[in-house]
Each structure stands twice: as C-alpha cells, then as structure tokens.
Amino acid sequence: MKFLIKLIASGLGTGYSPLAPGTAGSALAAIVVWLLAPWWGPGTAAAATVGAFIIGVFCTGRAEKFWGHDDGRMVIDEVAGMFLSLSLVPAGLRNIVIAFLIFRVFDILKPPPARAAERLPGGWGVMTDDIVAGAYTAVVMWGIAGWM
C-alpha cells in the first residue's frame, strides 16, 4: 500500500525528478491531456480533475507521514491543476503548451487565495493551492481562446 501511495502522490514517479519535479508532474498531465485530446472536453476535464483531486487528497495526506507536508515529490496536485487548466478550451497542442506555461507561473507565484489554501491541513493543503492555480489558468485560457 505504501508503494501505491508514493506512486500516485509522486505522479507516477515524476515527482522524483531531480530538476523541477512540479514541472515534471505538470508535463505528465499535459501528455495525458494530449493523448486524450479526441475525448477531452469539459466533462472529461471535470471528471479527471475531481478524480485526481480526491485521490490526491487521500494519497498526499498519507504520504505526509513519511515525506512531510507538501514535499516536493508530491506532484499529483500539479496533475489535478493542469487538468483543470485545460477544462474550458480544446486540447490542441497550442492550448496545452500555453496552459502549461501559465499554470507553472500561477503555481509558483501562488496568487490569493492559493497561498492561504496551502495552509489547509493534510492532503487538502497540498491539493487545493494547485486547484486555485488551475482555476486561474482556466479563466486565462478561456480568455485567450476567445481572443484567438
């Protein structure tokens, strides 16, 4: 069970990347969306985001017992955030790349209320700040898609 929790919390191992594990986890999500592009839409995005969030809260909450709070190896939160980032636009390569870049900026800067959400207990704090970053990204992407 411990192996499975670590595997999920680390985004199938991408969280073990020696350089920028959060970026590696976000890239994993971008690849998943690209592979699911023919079926990707608001419903698929919502299901993927909610599924990753629920599983992420559980697994990161458990993983904190051996890694500590919001350890860098935990990147399932980036996966959920990227899924949400692409919930309002088609999953074309251009949109995926732009959303990836914008999401990484929001995830690093943690605009309000993301920083406060990070302080929630257990897996809730690990996951929620990236959901906030993903929501900001989704709104920006929706605006960009309307403009293009």
- Give per-residue pLDDT as tens, 101-134: 999 999 999 999 999 998 999 999 999 999 999 9
Residue 72 confidence class, pLDDT cut points 50, 70, 90: very high
Would you state the pLDDT for residue 146? 82
Would you state the pLDDT for residue 12? 97
Residue 89 in this model has a pLDDT that exceeds 80: yes
Q: How far is CA 113 from CA 24, 49, 94, 118, 132, in A?
A: 24, 19, 28, 9, 7
Residue 147 confidence class, pLDDT cut points 50, 70, 90: confident
Would you state the pLDDT for residue 1? 86
What is the percentage of the chain residues whose pLDDT exceeds 90?
A: 94
Q: What is the pLDDT of residues 2-19, one digit of tens each?
A: 999 999 999 999 999 999
- Angle subtended at Cα 74 by Cα 11 and Cα 105, rounded to the nearest 5 degrees: 90
Domain of 117 in residue numbering reads as: 2-147
Question: How many domains in the chain?
Answer: 1
What is the percentage of the chain residues whose pLDDT exceeds 70?
A: 99
Cα within 13 Å of Cα(22), Cβ side: 19
Residue 148 in this model has a pLDDT that exceeds 80: no
